[in-house]
C-alpha cells in the first residue's frame, strides 16, 4: 500500500469575513410557506384518500379555535322546538265543549252529594259545599236554589272526560290549558 502525502491548508477567517463568505441560511431545509387556499386545494385533491379519523381530527382541532361554536342546524332545531311548544300551548288553550252539557254547568249525582263542574268540556269534581257556593256566586246565581242550579244525573258522567278536581278556591282560576292537559289524580 502506498502512502500519499497531502498537504491540507487551513484557512482562518475573521468573523466579519466569515459572515460574508459563508452561507448561514439553510433555506434548502426550511418548509415552503403555503397559503390557506393552497392548503385547501391540496386537501380537496386528496380528500378521498385521507382516512375518516383524520377528517374527524381536522374538524375537532378546527372547532377548538372557534369559541362557543354552535351549529346553525342546532339553532334551527331549537327554534322549531320552541315553536312546537308555543303551538301546543295555543292548542291546549282552546276551550272545548261537551255536546250535552254547556261549560259552567254543575252536575250532581242523584242520591249522592257528589258534584262536578263542567269546564272546557270536562268534568271537575267539586270537593266541598263551600266551593259549590263560590261557583254559584261567581256565576251570579247565588239567589236561586241549589236544586235549580245543578243538573241531577243518574250516574251518567262516565262518558265525560275528567280533569283537575276543585279542591280549593284557587282551583276555580285554573286556565283552560291546565284543565285540558291535567293528567293527575281525579
Asked if 116 contacts 123 with a C-beta cutoff of 8 angstroms, the reply is: yes
pLDDT digits (tens, 9 = 90+) for 140-162: 888 888 888 999 998 778 889 99
| DSSP code for 96 | P
- The whole-number pLDDT of residue 181 equals 94
Q: Residue 79 is inside which H or E element, if any? A: helix 72-92
- Class (C level, CATH) for 106-181: alpha beta
Ranges of each domain in the chain: 36-92, 106-181
Compute how many other C-beta atoms are within 10 angstroms of the C-beta atom of residue 132.
20
| Grid cell digits, residue 48 | 378521498
Predicted confidence band at 178 (pLDDT cuts at 50, 70, 90)? Answer: very high
| Grid cell digits, residue 181 | 292537559
CA-wise closest residue to 88 among 80, 98, 99, 77:
80
Beta strand extents in 40-174 (DSSP E only): 106-109, 115-119, 122-126, 150-153
Compute the distance between CA of residue 186 and CA of residue 180 in angstroms, rounded to an integer: 13
Torsion of CA 131, 134, 135, 140, to 10 degrees: 170
Predicted confidence band at 1 (pLDDT cuts at 50, 70, 90)? Answer: low
pLDDT digits (tens, 9 = 90+) for 91-114: 999 999 999 999 999 999 988 889
Compute the distance between CA of residue 51 and CA of residue 64 in angstroms, rounded to an integer: 21
Is the model's pTM score more than 0.85? no
DSSP-assigned beta bridge partners for residue 119? 122
Amino acid at each position: 500500500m502506498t502512502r500519499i502525502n497531502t498537504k491540507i491548508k487551513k484557512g482562518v477567517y475573521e468573523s466579519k469575513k466569515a459572515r460574508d463568505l459563508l452561507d448561514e441560511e439553510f433555506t434548502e431545509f426550511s418548509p415552503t410557506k403555503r397559503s390557506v387556499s393552497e392548503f385547501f386545494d391540496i386537501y380537496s385533491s386528496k380528500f378521498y384518500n385521507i382516512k375518516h379519523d383524520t377528517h374527524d381530527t381536522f374538524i375537532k382541532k378546527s372547532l377548538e379555535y372557534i369559541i362557543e361554536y354552535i351549529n346553525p342546524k342546532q339553532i334551527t332545531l331549537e327554534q322549531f322546538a320552541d315553536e312546537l311548544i308555543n303551538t301546543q300551548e295555543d292548542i291546549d288553550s282552546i276551550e272545548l265543549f261537551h255536546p250535552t252539557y254547556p261549560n259552567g254547568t254543575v252536575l250532581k249525582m242523584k242520591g249522592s252529594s257528589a258534584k262536578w263542574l263542567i269546564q272546557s268540556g270536562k268534568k271537575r269534581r267539586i270537593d266541598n259545599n263551600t266551593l259549590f257556593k263560590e261557583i254559584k256566586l261567581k256565576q251570579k246565581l247565588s239567589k236561586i236554589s241549589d236544586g235549580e242550579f245543578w243538573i241531577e244525573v243518574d250516574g251518567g258522567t262516565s262518558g265525560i272526560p275528567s280533569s283537575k278536581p276543585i279542591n280549593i278556591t284557587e282551583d276555580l282560576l285554573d286556565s283552560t290549558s291546565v284543565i285540558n292537559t291535567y293528567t293527575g289524580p281525579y
